[in-house]
Chains A and B, each alone.
Chain A
Amino acid sequence: MVEVTEELIAALKRKAVTLRKHIVRMTHNVQSGHPGGSMSACDIVTALYFHILRVDPKNPTWPDRDRFVLSKGHACPVWYAALAERGFFPVEELMTFRKLNSRLQGHPELGTTPGVENAAGAEGQGLSFSVGLALASRMDHKAWRTYCVLGDGEQDVGQTWEAAMAASKYGLDNLTAFIDRNGIQQEGRTEDIMPLEPLRNKWEAFNWHVLNIDGHDFRQILAAIEEAHRTRGRPTVIIARTVKGKGVSFMENKIKYHGAATSDDELKLALAELEEMEASM
């Protein structure tokens, strides 16, 4: 792994602001979609797509590419924004999100969007899908790795834990999972809807290597991924403490912005904040 320099961190921070601006604009444009959970996962996705993943935008189905699986499919605005910025398709196409005849479906569709690796929407299937990918890579003695981003709401789903058992049974050290632990799901706080804590202990009990980080600190994200790469014989889950709606003050930690877009006035405020942040960098 290359050294984590100040320049790298600054570049990732700038890129994350760009992605957040896309997320706010895309969801505002169609007046639907899920900005909150896209913004909470934004720094994880940025670190992966702009520093970690070996992918080729010119050849999205290159067999030896690393696989990124978005299990929390409703957060696809951040995925589409990252793929566009990485050159998988034109940035202008982002404004077709959720519109008729678009390649950018309301939830990810495999085979339509260049760079998208799985279909998700019904929660709790992505980690199982990732287990299948990781098994295939290992079976073929390949070096490519699988990274899966899950929501914390998805920890409610039984299949997530079926997958957790299977990944540890097969000792899938080529699989790294992130839990975007923003603490909010559609109808409220995760601890009110269905308490998850002690979440770390749950994953440890399932024989995963567990790391707790600040999901908005790029140094911590990159260090955790490096530790996951070094870990042998077990899959790693990185529980990333995040803020729903991160980056726009009035959206942060608001249940409303799980599945609601900004109004015209809010869009102006949001973009002004993000641009101010960009200018200060």
Chain B
Amino acid sequence: MTAGPWKLESQRSYFGRALVDLGRRNPNVVVVGADTTESLKSIDFGKAFPDRFFQLGIAEPNMISVAAGLAAAGKIPFATTYSVFGSAHTYNVIRQNVAYTNLNVKIFCSHAGLTVGPDGATHQINEDIGLMRGIPRMTVLVPADGPETARAVTAAAGMKGPVYCRFSRTNVPTVTSDQDGFAIGKAHTLRDGSDVTLIGCGLMVARCLEAAQTLERERISARVINLSTVKPLDLATIDRAARETGRIVTAEEHTVVHGIGAAVAAAIAVNHPVPIAMVGVQDVFGESGEAEELLRKYGLTVEKIVDAVHDLVKRGDRRT
């Protein structure tokens, strides 16, 4: 991974520490895992609170339903595993036992997207955001970096109801700070601009910021929004961006079929249609490779974001 001007840090390390901190503050917090707890760093919680930690083996459907049962009895369970298992493999269990029941289960998954790397397409899920945002009652979070992952843990525990949160295996640039605050349902404008709005999530937020710097040299003023809550979508912020900048480019480490691009496009099509371009995975499976190589091959780069902006600029001005 390239760092740009930022420090590269592990979201999983922030996640593990945030869980332990939360566990100290709230005795109702419990953690369930599925033979991936060292990788997720949720094992740190298990070491600190062995009575509140349940290793359930390679049996993710059971893990999700056990978490639901714990929640039904008043606990705040964090179910932790890799994104492909914590979404697609367990989809109908989440749907019936967590969302339909509206239980207080927090599903926190790492290893989202292509940057899982050499493990290949079986582990690189680019469909989880779409799967989860399609389920009624589900809140979907995609933190941009380590510090925001920690804030997502606290915010998820502080709200009632099911949450799905996905983050990366690879170290990502730290672009947010604790001064930014974090509220579920609020998109964070990291940089103001008037000619185009770049809306990113996860590790693509850093690439949006880099693209904005490149565009600035060309005298194109780009606003950058960190869409760390995918659902509920911050319609006010997106609508304002459409009206004020007249062009939108989304960027996500996820398929464009039903990810944040599709969510934003649907929202602006209804409220204030403006030209939109989507940078993301194009309805294909990934493959083995290093994280940065994969992002380049599948078009998840600063250059692709800049190119998309150029294309939109050629189509004219739709600002109101």
Contacts and interface: CB of A to CB of B under 8 A. Distances in A.
Contact of B56 (A111, A120, A166): A166
B56 A136 contact: no
Interface residues of B, number: 30
Interface in A85-140: 109-111, 117-122, 124-126, 128-137, 139-140
Interface of A: 63, 67, 109-111, 117-122, 124-126, 128-137, 139-140, 158-159, 162-163, 165-166, 170
Contacts of A126: 65
B210 to A, nearest CB: 44
A136 B97 contact: no
B51 A120 contact: no
Given A125-B65, A128-B69, A159-B62, 18 more contacts: A63-B74, A67-B73, A110-B103, A125-B93, A128-B62, A128-B68, A128-B97, A131-B66, A132-B67, A133-B69, A133-B70, A134-B69, A135-B69, A136-B70, A139-B30, A140-B73, A166-B57, A166-B62
- Which 10 A-B residue pairs are closest in the complex by CB-CB distance? A132-B69, A128-B65, A136-B73, A162-B62, A162-B59, A132-B66, A110-B101, A132-B70, A129-B69, A133-B69
Given A109-B100, A122-B96, A130 B59 contact: no
Contacts of A111: 101-102
Given A111-B102, A125-B96, A129-B97, A135 B61 contact: no
B188 interface: no
B66 A139 contact: no
B73 A132 contact: yes
Contacts of A120: 96
28 contacts: A63-B74, A118-B72, A118-B101, A120-B96, A121-B96, A122-B92, A124-B61, A125-B61, A125-B97, A128-B62, A128-B66, A129-B66, A129-B72, A131-B65, A131-B69, A132-B68, A132-B71, A132-B77, A133-B72, A133-B73, A135-B69, A135-B70, A136-B75, A159-B62, A159-B65, A163-B62, A165-B57, A166-B59
Contacts, number: 103
Nearest to A139: B51
A139 B51 CA distance: 7
Contacts of B56: 162, 166
B66 A135 contact: yes
Contacts of A134: 69
A170 to B, nearest CB: 7
Nearest to A63: B74
Contacts of B186: none
A128 to B, nearest CB: 3
Contacts of B182: none
A167 B239 CA distance: 50
Contacts of B101: 110-111, 118-119
Contacts of A166: 54, 56-57, 59, 62, 66
A77 B92 CA distance: 23
A162 B100 CA distance: 22
A93 B288 CA distance: 58
B52 interface: yes
Interface in B71-101: 71-75, 77, 92-93, 96-97, 100-101
